[in-house]
Every structure is written in C-alpha cells, then in structure tokens.
A = this chain, B = another copy of it.
Amino acid sequence: MLLSTKGDYGVRALIDLAKHAGEGPVQRSDIARRRQLPESYLDHLLAQLRRDGFVRSTRGPGGGHELTRPAEEITLLSVLECLEGSLAPMVCVADANRGGESLCGQSWVWAEIYDDMRARLAAVTIAELVEHERQHERAIAANYSI
C-alpha cells in the first residue's frame, strides 16, 4: 500500500520550484542537491511533470524548470495521479470501473475510503505544502535560538 518514491520525490521537487517561483528557471541539479534526490532519477519525474503541463523547461546555460501555474492552483491529487497513475487501492474501485458494476467483497468499503482520500488530496495545494514547510523551518529556528 505504499506510495512509491515517484510521488514523494515529485512533490518535493514541485515544492522546491514553488519556493523559487519568480526567480527564473531552477536547475535540476539544484533541486536534487537541496532536496537530496538522485538527479538522474529526478530527470524522469520532471519529464513526466512537463508532459502533463505542471512545469515548463528551458535548455542551455541559465535554463531549468519553472511552474506553469501558481502553486495555489496545483493540487496534491493532480500531481500524485500524474506520477503514480491511479491511486485506487483495488482495481475494481478505480474510477473507470465504477459504472454500476457490483463492488464485491470488501471493495465497497475501499470505494468509500478512496473517494474520501481523493477529496482530501484535492483540497491540498502545493502552496499549502510550502507554507507548512516554512512554518516547520521557523519552529526549528526558534528551537535553536532558545
């Protein structure tokens, strides 16, 4: 039932891009270094995010990656579904298979859980994750200063 590292790393990368929004293109290597991610793997994740329109990239010196939209408009759900595919816990529970067909055994329970989960993930934006991280940093800093 674990989320793969794709979703985890990809969201971390977008948080990084959101934090540096408006400062021009951010390079892969900087994201990888700051977030402690393997750069050549991050490569593939950024490619997927670009294909799905979350980021745009420019090549050449001074090139890099940027968000295409404000972080407030990017939901956690959309990013995870981009990188992980469907988050459905059982195949018969995925959106496509919900056309009146019987949800057998325990699957009706999982269908409810899945719907709640998606609603929850759709209600959180990258901007909120950035804000959460900033608060966390302030808490750490306050601890040190005591």
Complex contacts, A8 vs chain B, CB 8 Å: 90, 105-106
If A87-B1, A88-B1 touch, whether A120 touches B112 (CB-CB below 8 Å) is yes
How far is the CB of A132 from the nearest CB of chain B, in Å? 7
Which of B1, B12, B110 is the one whose CB lies under 8 Å from A84? B1
Which of B11, B12, B89, B121 is the one whose CB lies under 8 Å from A3? B89
A125 to B19, CA, bound (A): 46
Number of interface residues of A (CB under 8 A): 33
A109 to B118, CA, bound (A): 11
Answer yes or no: A47 CB below 8 A from chain B CBs. Answer: no
Once the chains bind, are A15 and B105 in contact (CB under 8 Å)? yes
Q: Which 4 A-B pairs have the closest CB atoms?
A: A1-B87, A11-B106, A3-B89, A113-B117
